[in-house]
Chains A and B, each alone.
Chain A
Amino acid sequence: MVRFFNALGTPVLAFFQYLGELVLLAGDTFRSILTHKLRWKLFLNQVVEIGLLSQLVVVITGAFTGAVFAAQTFFQFNKIGMGSATGAVVSVSICRELGPVLTALMVAGRVGAAMSAEIGTMKVTEQIDALRALAVYPTDYLVVPRALAMMVSMPLLVAECIAVGIAAGYFIAISLLEINGTYYMANMVRWTRNRDIIMALSKAFCFGILIVFISCQKGLSAREGAVGVGRATTEAVVNSSLAVLICNFFLTMLLNIIYPAGYQ
């Protein structure tokens, strides 16, 4: 019996310890943002790394998701004579769910992995100890610029993904599915509200924060050389992706209370 509770308790304790470390890192970072000077060069480098260099991935993701979603929606809606409603469904879905979630998953894979690998390598090669020994606090130097760059870049990337997705859906609808463009646009504009865009950007901001802290924490706690860095990187991507998907559900439920869907 004791062994059973031991076996059950150890991972539970480890999980709560991990959550605690994440919360402490986040607290430390926000305190540092408010009380210490920002290293603008590092921040701008990270904006380029996270925002600018993720453009291609996000544009492709948005375009093909919008296109395939428009096609699938049309195939189903057309059976009941509602083909022209495709635009509204595509637009609202991409704003509220697909845009933020898919962008976050792509950023977790591309940027989160890079962050944890870079910080993890610095950890196992004593570069982080060198920073500390030189009286530079690693959170200020490594985490703050990345966190701020992520907070700025994620909403912009999600907005871009949504715009490209809607445009791709429109293009497919009028060119391949032969939907009347005027009806498509009219329905889309009628059913898509500012609150859908606010919801998308709110989610983007939250997902960005999740990805950056999970990835940085994994990097900062890496050990045991190259194997440890590899493990930290994999865990950063997996944990970030799961966190995005799980939080998306709760954010949807919460934000739906504040910004209800539909024409009201």
Chain B
Amino acid sequence: MIAVRSVAKKIGQQEILRGVDLEVATGETLAIIGRSGGGKSVLLKHLVGLMTPDAGEIWIDGHNIIGMNERQLGAIRKKIGILFQSGALFDSMTVEENIAFPLREAGEKDPKVLHTKVEEMLEVIEMEGQEDKMPESLSGGMKKRVGLARSIIRRPSCVLYDEPTSGLDPVVADSINRLIRRLQQRLGMTSVVVTHDMKSAFDVANHIAYLHEGRIYFHGTPTQLQQARDPILQDFLLGRSDGRGD
């Protein structure tokens, strides 16, 4: 469903991506792990056309999205939901308006239908009764859950998660992980999860890709990653900063 071929990206003088090759099959949950500032979020934004690579190709459902303009990308983006690191909720709208936004933009005008669908989503994200709150009065975890509800209300075939558990306490982080698993199991959504939270990666992923120095250094199952003897992977998995793997 998603194929990334030799994608390179330079921001300023810094080479962020140096030829990333990656494939995500339909229905799969892939976790992209790597050190902070290593280009994981940049790679994720490329997948939905929010950033344009300097070189390479990105194929979504058989369409190369490189070279498409914003309006052409609209059709691709309707199939993909994205959860931003901060939630990126529209701060002038209530929780209900935020969640209903994609449906309203798709032409749904009936307030009853919109309200019912929002209530369903609030139940999924375990935030019933919070529809009238403004984003500023929500905690970080709640913002992420509302952001997630907004990105999946149109039932996309693929959801991209940018650091879904960062900055959250372990209990809220676990509830987000459960939610990601549930979406995959119940709705068969393809998921790409960018994270440096190893617990989250092992909890949700069928496959894990390790992004190191702008390239995919490892791509395999969680079990293969745990069994890997590679010192660079070991350093990351064990959280060692003394660079024994270098």
Which residues in A have some Cβ–Cβ distance to B below 8 Å? Answer: 121-122, 125-127, 129-130, 132-137
Contact = CB atoms under 8 A, between A and B. Distances in A.
A137 B74 contact: yes
B181 interface: no
Given A133-B84, A137-B74, 14 more contacts: A121-B91, A126-B84, A127-B89, A129-B45, A130-B82, A132-B50, A132-B70, A132-B73, A133-B151, A134-B77, A134-B151, A135-B77, A137-B70, A137-B71
A255 B90 CA distance: 43
A133 B105 contact: no
Contacts of A122: 90
Question: Which of B49, B88, B91 has the most chain A CB atoms inside 10 A of its CB?
Answer: B88
Contacts of A125: 86, 88, 91
B157 to A, nearest CB: 14
A50 B91 CA distance: 20
11 contacts: A125-B91, A126-B88, A127-B91, A129-B88, A130-B88, A132-B49, A133-B84, A134-B151, A135-B78, A136-B74, A137-B74
B211 interface: no
A255 to B, nearest CB: 37
Nearest to B50: A129
Chain B interface size range: 20 to 34
A134 B49 CA distance: 12
A138 to B, nearest CB: 8
B50 A127 contact: no
Contacts of B70: 132, 137
Given A137-B70, A137-B71, A132 B88 contact: no
B48 interface: yes
A135 B102 CA distance: 8
B161 interface: no
Interface string B81-108: 1101110111100000000011001000
A121 B92 CA distance: 11
Given A136-B105, A137-B70, A137-B71, A129 B84 contact: yes
A134 B105 contact: yes
Interface pairs A-B: 8 shortest CB-CB = A130-B88, A126-B88, A135-B74, A135-B77, A133-B82, A135-B78, A126-B84, A134-B102
Nearest to B51: A129
Given A125-B91, A136-B105, A130 B74 contact: no
Contacts of A137: 70-71, 74
A231 B204 CA distance: 42
B86 A126 contact: yes
Nearest to B78: A135
Contacts of B88: 125-127, 129-130
Nearest to A132: B50
A127 B80 CA distance: 17
Contacts of B89: 127, 130
Given A125-B86, A125-B88, A126-B86, A133 B48 contact: yes
Contacts of B84: 126, 129-130, 133
Interface in B139-163: 147, 150-151
A129 B160 CA distance: 13
A134 B73 CA distance: 10
A134 B101 contact: yes
B197 to A, nearest CB: 20
Nearest to A139: B70
Interface string B156-198: 0000000000000000000000000000000000000000000
A130 B90 contact: yes
B146 to A, nearest CB: 12
A136 B90 CA distance: 13
Nearest to B153: A134
B222 to A, nearest CB: 28
A125 B50 CA distance: 14
Contacts of B91: 121, 125, 127
B114 to A, nearest CB: 14
Contacts of B82: 130, 133
A129 B81 CA distance: 12
Contacts of B147: 130
A125 B105 CA distance: 21
Question: Which of A125, A130, A137 has the most chain B CB atoms inside 10 A of its CB?
Answer: A130
A207 to B, nearest CB: 27
A113 B125 CA distance: 37
Contacts of A127: 88-91
Contacts of B50: 129, 132-133
